[in-house]
Amino acid sequence: MKSFTFVFIISFFLFSKIATAQKIEIIQSAYIFDKAPFAACHASSLVELKDGSIMASWFGGKYEGSKDVVIWSAIKKNNKWSPPTEIANGIKQDTVQYPCWNPVLFRTQNGVLFLHYKVGKNPREWWAEFKTSIDDGKTWSKAEKLKDGFLGPIKNKPVQLPNGTILYPSSTESLDEKIWNIHLEKSDSHGKKWTKINIDCDTFGVIQPSILTYPNGKLQLLCRSRQNVIVESWSTDNGEHWSKLAPTNLPNPNSGSDAVTLQNGSQLLIYNPLIAGKNWWDGRSVLKLAISKDGKNWNDIYTLENHEKGEYSYPAIIQAKNGNVHLSYTAERKNIKYVELKILE
C-alpha cells in the first residue's frame, strides 16, 4: 500500500508539472459584431477559408425558436469582422417561415464549403437543409433538404477521413423530449451517398457529439448529456463500429461542448465545467479549455469565462493551417464572442 501511494504521488506530481507547463497566448479576443439586426443569437460555427480568413455563422432573431430566426454569417479578414449577413432562412413557398437552428460550417478536402443547418418548429420536429459555395461564401447554392431520416451535423463540425469519407456527428430528440440519442451519418467526399451508423447509447440521454481523431483509424466521440457528465464512445475502424457509451471524468451541465484534434495529436476541448442547476442556464457561467494526449486524462489549461451567473455556452473550435486555434461561443444570447490563441509547448 505504501508503494502504491508513493507511485501515485510521484505520478500526480509529474502530471501536474506537465499540466502547468502548458501556456496560452491570446492573439485576439472580441465580439464578432457591435450592433446586430437581431435581438438574440446562439449556436456559432467556424471554418477557415482558402485564403486563411475565418468565417463564422450563427442563428439570430427575436428569440430562439421565433419564426424570424435565420442563419447569419461574418468573415474576419485582417483582424476585422465584416457586418453580419443573412445566408439562409426558413421561408417556404414565400408564405410560411420556420425558425432556423444550429448552423455548421465545413469545407471539404476538395474546397467546397458546406453550410448545414436545421429548419422547423423545434429540435424534435426540425429537418436538415444545406447549401454549398465554391467561392468561399461569396455566393451560395439554393437550399437543399437532406433525405428523410438524415439530419447531418447537429451542432459540431464533421470530420473528413484520409480516404475522403465525411463523418457527421448527429443526434435525435423524441417528440415527448424523454429520449436523446446520438448516432453518426456518413457520406462520400462530395457529400453524397449518405448512410447512418447507430451507436449503443445505453441509458444515457445524449446529443450533440463532437469527433476526435487518433492514429490507425481510432476515433472518439464526446457528447452532451443529461447525466451531469460528458459521455464518450470509441471506434477502432474509422467510425464503422462504436463502443457502448460511458461517462468521462468531465462535468457537463447539460450544455453543448466542442473539441478538435490538433496538428500535434493533442485533443482540445471547450466546455462548461460545472453541473446542472435548477434552471436550464445554470452551469453555463464558466467556460474552459481542456487538453488531453489520450482522450482519457484531461487537464484544464485556460478559463475563458468565469462568472457567478450568466450564459457563455455552445462553443465552436477549430485549428487553422498556421496552427492557431480559433473559437467562438454564445455570450448572454446577445453576441458571439470570438477568440484566437496559440498553445505554447
CATH number at residue 299: 2.120.10.10
Residue 42: which domain range?
24-344
Assess if residue 29 is contained within a domain.
yes
Assess if residue 296 is contained within a domain.
yes
Percentages helix, strand, coil for the chain (3-state, rounded to 5) are 5, 50, 45
Assess if residue 10 is contained within a domain.
no
Domain total of the chain: 1
Assess if residue 50 is contained within a domain.
yes
Assess if residue 97 is contained within a domain.
yes
Query: Which among 247, 244, 190, 193 is positioned nearest to 224, based on CA atoms?
Result: 247
Q: Which residues pair with 118 in a beta bridge?
A: 101, 128
Assess if residue 223 is contained within a domain.
yes
Query: HSE (CB half, 13 Å, CA atoms) of 115?
Result: 33
Looking at residue 21, what is its pLDDT? 57
C-alpha cell at 170: 448527429
Rounded to whole angstroms, the Cα distance separating 130 from 146 reads 7
Query: HSE (CB half, 13 Å, CA atoms) of 136?
Result: 14
Query: Which among 185, 257, 202 is positioned nearest to 224, based on CA atoms?
Result: 257
Assess if residue 331 is contained within a domain.
yes
Residue pair 45/157 in contact by the 8 Å Cβ criterion: yes
Rounded to whole angstroms, the Cα distance separating 181 from 174 reads 9
Query: For every one of its 345 residues, what pLDDT tens digit does the chain have, with 9 covering 90 and above?
Result: 333 333 333 333 333 334 445 799 999 999 999 989 999 999 999 999 999 999 999 999 999 999 999 999 999 999 999 999 999 999 998 889 999 999 999 999 999 999 999 999 999 999 999 999 999 999 999 999 999 999 999 999 999 999 999 999 999 999 999 999 999 999 999 999 999 999 999 999 999 999 999 999 999 999 999 999 999 999 999 999 999 999 999 999 999 999 999 999 999 999 999 999 999 899 999 999 999 999 999 999 999 999 999 999 999 999 999 999 999 999 999 999 999 999 997
Rounded to whole angstroms, the Cα distance separating 317 from 328 reads 7
Query: Which among 201, 240, 200 is positioned nearest to 218, based on CA atoms?
Result: 240
Assess if residue 53 is contained within a domain.
yes
